[in-house]
Amino acid sequence: MLPPVSHIKWKELVTGKKSYQFQSLGIKIMMSRILISTSRDQSPQNVDRCIQEVYNYFTKNEIGSQKDLEQIFGKEAR
């Protein structure tokens, strides 16, 4: 189950406070772009936009991204 978009770990993910070794190439590419965006613009609006983009990606690809989600959220992602 995907944690809610308000979960603090989404913010930690998009701002680079925690880094992960993702398995999915799509996630790796998206996260590279997201981290560049949030490093250039740390405004709450941009961070929220990035969180929503990553959340939407995982919502659409939850089954195929399960291992990457477990890396971020641990047991909460099961």
Question: Which pLDDT belongs to residue 8?
Answer: 97
The pLDDT of residue 41 is 98
Q: Taking the domains of the chain in order of start, what are their residue ranges? A: 12-73
Alpha helices in 16-75 (DSSP H): 25-40, 44-60, 66-73
Check residue 61 and give its pLDDT.
94
| Residues in CB range of 41: below 8 A, 6 or more apart | none
Residue 1: the pLDDT is 84
> Would you state the pLDDT for residue 70?
94
Residue 76: predicted pLDDT: 82
Which residue stretches of the chain have pLDDT < 50? none
Round to whole Å and give the CA distance between 16 and 61.
21
Decide if 77 contacts 3 (C-beta within 8 A): yes
Number of other residues whose CB lies within 10 A of the CB of residue 30:
17
